[in-house]
Amino acid sequence: MADPSIQTFCCHKPRMGNPSVSLMSEFNSTTYNIVCLVSSVLGCLGAIYQMLPRTDKSLSRRWFSLTSQRGRQIVVWLALADFLASLGVSMRSIVKLNNSLTMSWDEKAIIFCTILAAWIEYFYMVTWLWTLLYAVDTWLAFGQRQGYPKLYHAMAWTIPAFLTTTGLTLLYFPNADCHNFGTVKPDPTFTRLLPNYVLMYSMIAAVMLLAPCFFVASARNADSLVSSCLRQVTNKERSVVQAIRLKFALIVGMFAICWTPNLVNGIIIWCTWGNLSVSFLLGLWYLMAAVNPLQAFLNSIVYRRANTKIDFQFTVRLTDETAPLLPSNINT
């Protein structure tokens, strides 16, 4: 599970009466961490599957490519970030299941917890940006325009680093006592807790809003591209365009399934703090523990190309990264 609520649990032990105490005890429970571990292991396996090299079974006769080579490169980087994020979740779960640092509040435990929290937040932010960049590059590709791989990498790796550093620095420094703000005057809750919530949830919301727009535009470009290149559109061409639309819908739907619970969680926490429905939040957190790390596993399904197979000899036929989705002779 990747959520700002979890990151506050790296702070010093809250005073009794704080509503986070009961939630924290469940976060450290065996059941919760088993759910996280199973989901994250599945995520790691899905990400590894995505990164395996592939060859195209019908490259010489393909008239329309569902994913260009440059799209494939984006998917591989997305899978790498997914793997590292899921690995962080699994490491945190294993540590808590071993009970070595679970309820310890010394500086060593706090630092270890903080590092894992930053690791998980950073790489999930990277996956969100790669998801959006995939939508942008697909739109450019169907518009027969070149991609910008260097710019993609600069954005995908540096923006999350800046946001993660900013959010967690405000949360943990100068002291990791982020559960007891209400006892201090003036109360710094908004200046220390809220920024990290806003930064994470704003990125999730941006992907949910912008990615569908780019995919809708890409689908329209696909229709126009087929009509302009062919005098007559056959059932085969129509089925491929429909497959493209379905793939875009699945990507958007998968992302919504994995991350909508986090947005709901944030709204509930900030709207009902002091009168939290602990049972409802726990159910929501178990849902997030299951679906957040499963993003990598689901990505391996929705981004999969039907006309490719895994090359266990690691011999991959690569095309130019800026190659258009359509070959020069569309009828071949």
* Domains of the chain, earliest start first: 4-310 (1.20.1070.10)
Residue bearing the bigger pLDDT, 145 or 274? 145
How many C-alpha atoms does 101 have within 13 Å on its Cβ side? 17
User: pTM to 2 decimals?
Assistant: 0.84
- Does residue 89 surpass a pLDDT of 90? yes
Task: Identify the helix (H) or strand (E) that includes residue 295.
Answer: helix 294-302
How many Cβ atoms sit within 10 Å of the Cβ of residue 187? 11
Residue bearing the bigger pLDDT, 57 or 109? 109
Cα 189 from Cα 268, distance rounded (Å): 16
And the tokens for 23?
């939630």
Q: What is the pLDDT of residue 50?
A: 93
Cα 244 from Cα 215, distance rounded (Å): 9
pLDDT band for position 104 (cuts 50, 70, 90): low
Most confident of 65-79, 237-251, 273-287, 295-309: 237-251
- Does residue 331 surpass a pLDDT of 50? no
Looking at residues 60-73, what average pLDDT do you find?
59
Please tell me the least confidently modeled range out of 109-123, 175-189, 211-225, 312-326.
312-326
3-state secondary structure at position 293: coil
Please tell me the least confidently modeled range out of 219-228, 270-279, 304-313, 319-328.
319-328
Contact indicator for 14, 21 with CB cutoff of 8 Å: yes
- Cα 224 to chain centroid, rounded: 31
Q: What is the pLDDT of residue 180?
A: 55
Altogether, the residues listed in the chain come to a count of 332
pLDDT band for position 321 (cuts 50, 70, 90): very low
- pLDDT tens string 9-59: 777 565 555 555 566 677 778 899 999 999 999 999 999 999 998 765 554
- Cα 90 to chain centroid, rounded: 16
Cα 115 from Cα 289, distance rounded (Å): 19
Burial of 85-120, coded b for 16+ CB within 10 Å and e otherwise, reads: bbbbbbebbebbbeeeebeeeeeebbebbbebbbbb
What residue type is assigned to position 240 of the chain? V
Q: What is the pLDDT of residue 65?
A: 53
Residue bearing the bigger pLDDT, 93 or 67? 93
pLDDT band for position 305 (cuts 50, 70, 90): low
- pLDDT tens string 195-253: 888 999 999 999 999 999 999 999 888 877 766 665 556 677 677 788 888 999 999 99
pLDDT band for position 71 (cuts 50, 70, 90): confident
pLDDT band for position 112 (cuts 50, 70, 90): confident
pLDDT band for position 300 (cuts 50, 70, 90): very high
- Cα 211 to chain centroid, rounded: 13
- Does residue 4 surpass a pLDDT of 80? no
Query: 78: closest CA among 134, 155, 149, 159?
Result: 134
Q: What is the pLDDT of residue 107?
A: 73
- Report the chain's terminal Cα–Cα distance, integer Å: 47
Burial, 10: exposed, middle or buried (Cβ in 10 Å; 0-12, 13-18, 19+)? buried
Cα 293 from Cα 291, distance rounded (Å): 6
% residues pLDDT > 90 (the chain): 41
And the tokens for 206?
């941006």
